[in-house]
Amino acid sequence: MTAPAMTREAALQDLPFLVNGTLTGAERVPLEALLSDDADLVAERDFLARLRATMQADGCGQAGVNPPGELGLARLMRALPPQEAPRRADRWRAQGRLALVAGLAAVASALITAWALRDPAAAPVYVQASGDAGDAPVLTVTFQPEARLADIAALLQDKDLIIVDGPGALGLYRLELPPGADALALAETLRAADDLVLSVDEPE
Protein backbone atom coordinates (compact mmCIF):
# COMPACT_ATOMS: atom_id res chain seq x y z
CA MET A 1 0.00 0.00 0.00
CA THR A 2 1.42 3.38 -0.95
CA ALA A 3 1.47 6.32 1.43
CA PRO A 4 -1.15 9.01 0.81
CA ALA A 5 0.07 11.97 -1.26
CA MET A 6 1.08 15.11 0.59
CA THR A 7 1.12 18.67 -0.68
CA ARG A 8 4.35 20.61 -0.49
CA GLU A 9 2.72 23.20 1.78
CA ALA A 10 1.60 20.52 4.21
CA ALA A 11 5.10 19.06 4.11
CA LEU A 12 6.61 22.44 5.02
CA GLN A 13 4.25 22.75 7.97
CA ASP A 14 5.07 19.27 9.21
CA LEU A 15 8.85 19.58 8.92
CA PRO A 16 9.34 21.09 12.42
CA PHE A 17 7.69 18.04 13.92
CA LEU A 18 9.78 15.67 11.82
CA VAL A 19 12.82 17.48 13.21
CA ASN A 20 11.71 17.19 16.85
CA GLY A 21 10.69 13.55 16.38
CA THR A 22 7.03 13.88 17.35
CA LEU A 23 5.32 12.80 14.10
CA THR A 24 3.67 9.40 14.04
CA GLY A 25 4.95 6.77 11.63
CA ALA A 26 1.97 7.33 9.33
CA GLU A 27 2.70 11.07 9.21
CA ARG A 28 6.41 10.55 8.62
CA VAL A 29 6.19 8.23 5.61
CA PRO A 30 4.70 10.63 3.01
CA LEU A 31 6.90 13.46 4.27
CA GLU A 32 10.07 11.42 3.92
CA ALA A 33 8.93 10.38 0.44
CA LEU A 34 8.73 14.04 -0.58
CA LEU A 35 12.08 14.79 1.03
CA SER A 36 13.77 12.08 -1.02
CA ASP A 37 13.54 14.10 -4.24
CA ASP A 38 13.22 17.74 -3.14
CA ALA A 39 16.51 19.44 -2.30
CA ASP A 40 14.81 22.65 -1.14
CA LEU A 41 12.74 20.72 1.33
CA VAL A 42 15.89 19.04 2.62
CA ALA A 43 17.48 22.47 3.08
CA GLU A 44 14.42 23.56 5.08
CA ARG A 45 14.66 20.50 7.28
CA ASP A 46 18.37 21.10 7.86
CA PHE A 47 17.73 24.73 8.79
CA LEU A 48 15.09 23.71 11.32
CA ALA A 49 17.39 21.04 12.74
CA ARG A 50 20.17 23.60 13.22
CA LEU A 51 17.72 26.02 14.81
CA ARG A 52 16.52 23.37 17.25
CA ALA A 53 20.08 22.30 18.11
CA THR A 54 21.07 25.90 18.77
CA MET A 55 18.05 26.56 20.96
CA GLN A 56 18.61 23.42 22.99
CA ALA A 57 22.31 24.20 23.44
CA ASP A 58 21.44 27.71 24.59
CA GLY A 59 19.73 26.39 27.73
CA CYS A 60 18.00 29.61 28.63
CA GLY A 61 16.47 32.08 26.25
CA GLN A 62 17.92 35.22 27.77
CA ALA A 63 21.54 35.84 28.59
CA GLY A 64 22.19 36.24 32.30
CA VAL A 65 18.66 35.28 33.33
CA ASN A 66 18.53 32.25 35.59
CA PRO A 67 15.42 30.34 36.64
CA PRO A 68 14.38 30.63 40.31
CA GLY A 69 15.92 27.23 41.13
CA GLU A 70 16.29 26.19 44.76
CA LEU A 71 15.35 29.63 46.05
CA GLY A 72 12.11 29.37 44.14
CA LEU A 73 11.54 25.95 45.65
CA ALA A 74 12.14 27.34 49.15
CA ARG A 75 9.61 30.09 48.45
CA LEU A 76 7.14 27.51 47.21
CA MET A 77 7.54 25.33 50.31
CA ARG A 78 6.98 28.35 52.54
CA ALA A 79 3.80 29.18 50.65
CA LEU A 80 2.25 25.76 51.23
CA PRO A 81 -0.26 25.48 54.06
CA PRO A 82 1.30 24.07 57.26
CA GLN A 83 -0.70 20.88 57.04
CA GLU A 84 -2.80 20.03 54.04
CA ALA A 85 -6.37 19.06 54.79
CA PRO A 86 -7.27 15.50 53.81
CA ARG A 87 -8.40 15.11 50.22
CA ARG A 88 -12.12 14.56 49.67
CA ALA A 89 -11.71 10.87 48.81
CA ASP A 90 -9.89 10.20 52.08
CA ARG A 91 -12.06 12.37 54.28
CA TRP A 92 -14.33 9.66 55.68
CA ARG A 93 -11.45 7.28 56.25
CA ALA A 94 -9.46 10.08 57.90
CA GLN A 95 -12.34 10.88 60.20
CA GLY A 96 -12.53 7.23 61.21
CA ARG A 97 -8.82 7.25 61.94
CA LEU A 98 -9.24 10.44 63.94
CA ALA A 99 -11.91 8.84 66.10
CA LEU A 100 -9.70 5.81 66.70
CA VAL A 101 -6.69 7.98 67.60
CA ALA A 102 -8.81 10.09 69.94
CA GLY A 103 -10.06 6.95 71.68
CA LEU A 104 -6.55 5.56 72.06
CA ALA A 105 -5.32 8.90 73.36
CA ALA A 106 -8.07 8.96 75.99
CA VAL A 107 -7.14 5.43 77.16
CA ALA A 108 -3.42 6.30 77.20
CA SER A 109 -4.12 9.47 79.15
CA ALA A 110 -6.10 7.54 81.75
CA LEU A 111 -3.33 4.92 82.09
CA ILE A 112 -0.61 7.56 82.45
CA THR A 113 -2.60 9.45 85.05
CA ALA A 114 -3.23 6.29 87.04
CA TRP A 115 0.43 5.30 86.86
CA ALA A 116 1.61 8.77 87.92
CA LEU A 117 -0.77 8.84 90.89
CA ARG A 118 0.40 5.40 91.99
CA ASP A 119 4.08 6.45 92.05
CA PRO A 120 4.37 10.22 92.51
CA ALA A 121 8.15 10.09 92.93
CA ALA A 122 8.70 8.75 89.45
CA ALA A 123 9.87 11.28 86.85
CA PRO A 124 9.49 12.15 84.14
CA VAL A 125 5.81 11.32 83.82
CA TYR A 126 5.76 11.54 80.04
CA VAL A 127 8.49 11.47 77.38
CA GLN A 128 7.66 11.91 73.71
CA ALA A 129 9.23 9.00 71.88
CA SER A 130 10.02 10.95 68.72
CA GLY A 131 11.79 13.83 70.43
CA ASP A 132 10.89 17.45 70.96
CA ALA A 133 8.62 18.54 68.17
CA GLY A 134 8.52 15.38 66.14
CA ASP A 135 9.81 17.37 63.15
CA ALA A 136 12.34 16.20 60.61
CA PRO A 137 15.91 17.22 61.46
CA VAL A 138 17.02 20.55 60.05
CA LEU A 139 20.45 21.97 59.27
CA THR A 140 21.12 25.69 59.30
CA VAL A 141 23.78 26.76 56.81
CA THR A 142 25.23 29.77 55.05
CA PHE A 143 26.67 29.66 51.54
CA GLN A 144 29.80 31.28 50.17
CA PRO A 145 28.86 34.69 48.71
CA GLU A 146 30.51 33.82 45.39
CA ALA A 147 28.87 30.36 45.13
CA ARG A 148 26.84 29.91 41.95
CA LEU A 149 23.15 29.10 42.35
CA ALA A 150 23.44 26.17 39.96
CA ASP A 151 26.26 24.62 42.03
CA ILE A 152 24.30 25.06 45.27
CA ALA A 153 21.25 23.50 43.62
CA ALA A 154 23.32 20.54 42.41
CA LEU A 155 24.75 19.97 45.90
CA LEU A 156 21.32 20.11 47.57
CA GLN A 157 19.70 17.85 45.00
CA ASP A 158 22.51 15.34 45.29
CA LYS A 159 21.89 15.08 49.05
CA ASP A 160 18.06 15.30 48.79
CA LEU A 161 18.06 18.46 50.88
CA ILE A 162 15.27 21.03 50.60
CA ILE A 163 15.49 24.67 51.63
CA VAL A 164 12.55 25.20 53.98
CA ASP A 165 13.44 28.67 55.17
CA GLY A 166 15.74 31.52 54.28
CA PRO A 167 17.69 33.40 53.44
CA GLY A 168 17.34 35.30 56.69
CA ALA A 169 18.90 38.70 57.36
CA LEU A 170 22.24 37.00 58.06
CA GLY A 171 22.04 34.79 54.98
CA LEU A 172 21.00 31.71 56.96
CA TYR A 173 19.17 28.90 55.21
CA ARG A 174 17.36 26.03 56.96
CA LEU A 175 17.63 22.73 55.11
CA GLU A 176 15.24 19.84 55.69
CA LEU A 177 16.92 16.44 55.63
CA PRO A 178 15.46 13.41 53.88
CA PRO A 179 13.74 10.87 56.15
CA GLY A 180 16.21 8.59 57.91
CA ALA A 181 19.24 10.69 56.99
CA ASP A 182 22.26 10.83 59.27
CA ALA A 183 22.19 14.52 60.24
CA LEU A 184 25.71 14.60 61.65
CA ALA A 185 27.19 12.90 58.59
CA LEU A 186 25.32 15.24 56.26
CA ALA A 187 26.53 18.24 58.23
CA GLU A 188 30.11 17.00 57.83
CA THR A 189 29.56 16.46 54.10
CA LEU A 190 28.31 20.01 53.71
CA ARG A 191 31.23 21.40 55.71
CA ALA A 192 33.58 19.55 53.38
CA ALA A 193 32.03 21.34 50.41
CA ASP A 194 33.68 24.53 51.60
CA ASP A 195 33.88 26.02 48.11
CA LEU A 196 30.08 26.43 48.34
CA VAL A 197 29.20 26.22 52.03
CA LEU A 198 30.47 28.83 54.46
CA SER A 199 29.08 27.41 57.71
CA VAL A 200 26.95 24.55 59.02
CA ASP A 201 25.41 24.66 62.48
CA GLU A 202 24.95 21.51 64.54
CA PRO A 203 21.79 19.61 63.51
CA GLU A 204 18.59 20.73 65.26
* Rounded least distance, CB 139 to another protein, Å: 16
Q: Residue 14 or 204: which CB sits closer to another protein? A: 14
Q: Within 13 Å and on the Cβ side, how many CA atoms surround 98?
A: 8
Q: Residue 40 or 119: which CB sits closer to another protein? A: 40
* Rounded least distance, CB 175 to another protein, Å: 12
In degrees, to the nearest 5, what angle opens at C-alpha 126 toward C-alphas 105 and 83?
55
Q: Residue 63 or 121: which CB sits closer to another protein? A: 63
* Rounded least distance, CB 173 to another protein, Å: 15
Residues that bind another protein (CB under 8 A): 8, 12-14, 16-17, 19-23, 40-41, 43-48, 51-52, 54-58, 60-63, 65, 67-69, 72-73, 75-77, 79-80, 84, 86-90, 157-158, 160, 162, 178
Q: Residue 2 or 24: which CB sits closer to another protein? A: 24
Return the exposure string of 26-48: e unless at least 16 CB atoms fall within 10 Å of the residue's CB, then b: ebbebbebbbeeeeebeebbeeb
* Rounded least distance, CB 113 to another protein, Å: 34
